[in-house]
Structures are given as structure tokens and as C-alpha cells.
Amino acid sequence: MKKTTPEGNKLTGIFCHIFGHHYTVSKRVTEHIKEYKCLHCQKQVTTDERGKLSALTPVMQEINKTLEEMYQKRNRRTSTVRRQVA
């Protein structure tokens, strides 16, 4: 039997609709912002600036990428600044 249509997604979509999504962290952007993915329907969401979950759109992905880079740079700098100053 060949799998030609994403029937599974449709069924898990109903499952999520009834029981709610089962999100797991797919990416840690900053200390407070994370990206999540639903185990059942693969829906992706992210924490927005108010700490609420919103859909992970391409725009949000770009914002998160920028935030992640800034966050990592800042962390790297704070750990080396002490050495440079002293």
C-alpha cells in the first residue's frame, strides 16, 4: 500500500484539535524565547516578546535568528570583557 496522501496529518490534526498540541522545544533562541514543535501535527510555534505562543512564520523565524545571534554574541562578549578590562 502506497502512502500518497497525508492522511496521518489530517487525523493528528483532529487529535490536536480535541486534545491540544503536544509541543516540545525544537530550538532555544534565548533564555526566554524558544521555538516549539507539535509532536503530532508538526505545527511550529514560538514565544513572542510578550511571552505568549504564536505561529512560527518565516518573519518570526528571521526575528528569532537575529535574536539568537545577538544573544550568543552578548554572552560571548560578557564572558571575555572581564579579561580584556582586567
- Round to whole Å and give the CA distance between 43 and 31: 22
Minimum distance, C-beta of residue 57 to Zn ion, in the bound complex (Å): 17
User: Which grid coordinates belong to 4?
Assistant: 500518497
Burial class of residue 5 (count of CB atoms within 10 Å of its CB; 0-12, 13-18, 19+): exposed
Binding site for Zn ion (CB under 5 A): 16, 21, 38, 40-41, 43
Q: Give the shortest CB-61-to-Zn ion separation in angstroms.
A: 18
Residue (42 or 66) nearer to Zn ion, CB: 42
Minimum CB distance to Zn ion smaller for 19 or for 83: 19
